[in-house]
Structures are given as C-alpha cells and as structure tokens.
A and B are shown apart, each in its own frame.
Chain A
Amino acid sequence: MADGGIMGLAWRHNRWLAERQVAIASNIANINTPRYQARDTPPFELTNRANAVHAAHMRLDQSSFRAFVDHPEQQAGRVHSGNTLGLEHQLATLADTHQSYAMNAGAIRAFHRMIMASSKG
C-alpha cells in the first residue's frame, strides 16, 4: 500500500482541492481585472495518475498540482473588458470544493477511528 490506500487517496484529493481553492480565490479576486482568463486545476484523475507513478518513492509531483488551465467553455462569456469570469460559477465551485473537503475529512476521521478500534483489540 505504497500509495497510502484510502486515507492516502483522501489526503491527495484534499491537497488537490486546496490547490483548486487557490485557483478559485485568484479568479474571484480578479473578477474586475481586464483581460483576466479564468483558471482551474487539471482534473484530479490526471494528477492522481501522475502521483501514482511516483508513489513508490513517496514523493508527490508538485508540478501537476500547479498546472492551471484556462476555461475554454467560458470564452463565450467574455465581457467587454476581456474578462471571462462568472462570479456565480466561481462561488458554486468554491462551495463544491468546500463540501468535498468536508467529506474527505469525515472519511479520514472514520477510517482512523476504525484503525484505532481494531488496534485496541
């Protein structure tokens, strides 16, 4: 279980969610910046696959987390200033990220309690 198993997966997902929050925070902070392009992290599936390659060395590929991508589907929503952001979309993504983080934290807590309960015998 070099990749950490379920708890390792939950931890990596939380790490990805934290990085995604950076992208969302940057998008919301630049809501009025002309010609700002909306950003997002690559899908978790891609970053998780990249990390699995390095799992044997117990080292994360940090560059995969920091690879922001533009939102091609938001190009149609470009406003007069050149900005492609939609505040409602960003806030909804933020809420989704927060909820996912809470679920992962709950899962980690539950699994840890199971491990502790089984180790006590």
Chain B
Amino acid sequence: MTDPLRSTLGIALAGMEAQSARLRVAAENVANSESTGKTPGAEPYTRKVLTFERAFNDEVGAEVVRAGSIVTHRSPYRIEHMPGHPAADGRGLVKHPNVNPMVEVADIREANRSYIANLHVAKKAREIVSMTIELMRGT
C-alpha cells in the first residue's frame, strides 16, 4: 500500500502540471488573439481549449488529474471589414480569431488560483512529514 503522504504529494504535483498546461494554452490564445490568415479568405488562429481527465497513477497509487487533449473552440470567428488586408475576401471581410482576451485573462487567473491551491497541498504534506521527523528527533 502506498504511503498516503507520498500519494498526496504526487496528486498535488499532477494538479500543478495540469494547471501549468492550462496556463500555456491560455497564453497561446492571448498571444494569437489577432493572428489572421495571410491569403484572401484564409482561416485565422482558432482558440484552443485544454480538457482535463482522470487517470490512475501506479507510482502514486491514486487517481490523479491529467491534461487531456487540446481541442479547438467551436465559437464563430470575429468578422471585420478591412478591404486592404491581405486576408480580406472578395467583400473586404477579414476573419479574426475567436479569442476574447478578457475570457483568457479570467482563465489565467483561475488556473493560477488552482495552481496555488495544489502548491499549498504539497506544502502542507511536506510539513506533516517534517512534523513526523521532528517527533522522532524530539523524543
């Protein structure tokens, strides 16, 4: 049977890794929020979304969270009338990414909050281990 404190650390670490991946995807969306195509009528950057899934980790001995697949968001592109743009179609309309920077910033803040919570769990588990070692030292 796996030591529960070791399992706790493994679970918290997996949570931090998943939130890091989420931050990376959100950062990519923000960086590409204005990335249009280069040829007339070309598709722009499409917003990416990271999914989370559960998986049993034999080393940890518990079910951990894992960053799943990165899928594209199905919301429509933003259309703007820019006749001189390289990506403008016959009507002068340019497709812009379906990325809302405010939504991404909110997602980043949420990922940050979850990352800190997982870090706090890892910290508390380490403190308990230290407490147990101190117990042996004190006696």
Contact = CB atoms under 8 A, between A and B. Distances in A.
Given A26-B11, A30-B65, A31-B117, A102 B52 contact: no
**Which 5 A-B residue pairings sit nearest by Cβ, starting from the closest?**
A29-B15, A18-B4, A25-B11, A112-B139, A25-B8
A83 to B, nearest CB: 10
Given A62-B1, A102-B131, A29 B124 contact: no
A109 B139 CA distance: 6
B117 A87 contact: yes
Contacts of B139: 109, 112-113, 116
Given A21-B4, A28-B12, A29-B15, A34 B117 contact: no
Contacts of B1: 62
Chain B binding surface, main DSSP class: helix
Most buried by A among B4, B113, B114, B120: B4
Given A30-B52, A31-B15, 7 more contacts: A15-B4, A25-B12, A29-B14, A87-B113, A91-B120, A105-B132, A113-B139
A28 B15 contact: yes
A11 B126 CA distance: 18
Contacts of B114: 28, 31-32, 87
21 contacts: A15-B4, A19-B4, A21-B125, A24-B121, A25-B7, A25-B12, A25-B125, A29-B64, A31-B15, A31-B114, A32-B19, A32-B110, A62-B1, A94-B121, A95-B124, A102-B131, A105-B132, A105-B135, A109-B135, A109-B139, A116-B139
Interface of A: 15, 18-19, 21-22, 24-26, 28-34, 36, 62, 87, 90-91, 94-95, 97-98, 101-102, 105, 108-109, 112-113, 116
Nearest to B50: A32
A57 to B, nearest CB: 17
Contacts of B63: 26
B62 interface: yes
